Amino acid sequence: SRFSGLFRRCFPVGITNNRLTIRAGSATTSSGTRSTLPANFGKQCKEELWSEYNYSVGEAVQRTKAAMVTLLRRNPEIQPLLAILQAGEDDSILEINKKIAGKVGLNVTQICLATGCSEDEIVEELLKLNNDPKVHGVYLHLPAASLTSPVLGALNPEKDVDGMTDLNMGRLVRGDASEGFVPPVAGAVLDLLGKHVKS
């Protein structure tokens, strides 16, 4: 997800006994955090929380779908394509990502490398994706050990949908995220927190 003009921070979050606990960052203490800020959800049961979560996901899918329709009306020659580069077998998270991409009208191509592929093989594939004008975004579905500096350095920051390249991460840390991508998990957490603050 992208946002412009706003600096957002990602706070560590935990839920216990229907209370959302947020650690707020601060440069004033030696530990780097202030006291914990509780946000009480009252007596909502877990089913209500999951229902609201499912509504939020559905709402995000509908907003994205509408944005995609607008994009395609303005630029009918563009056929947005997300390339998923993975090492190893499919898993449930990958299937969920492909399903949601399909719901919003995003074309997906999947490049499957061997489980034990080398760093050079990953970089070679990334360079091909960088140079492919049909590919608009790249999602790295790789083990953490494969996300090395050379691998992340090989990915074109303009196609980095997770905001993992050094350039995009640096922009986010500096508060200049309007030029890059916010990691989707961080963006989703911030959106959910924003909804609970409003209610």
Q: Which residues are known catalytic residues? A: 99
Half-sphere exposure of 168 (CA within 13 A, CB side): 21
State which amino acid sits at residue 13: V
**Contact in structure between 180 and 168 (CB atoms under 8 Å):** yes
Contact 20, 199 (CB under 8 A): no
Token digits of residue 134: 């049909």
- Joined together, the tokens standing for residue 3 give 């946002």
DSSP code of 23? P
Pull the structure tokens for residue 60. Answer: 């995000």
Residue 134 DSSP code: T
Q: Extract the tokens encoding 39.
A: 């946000």
The residue count of the chain comes to 199
User: 145, 165 in Cβ contact below 8 A?
Assistant: no
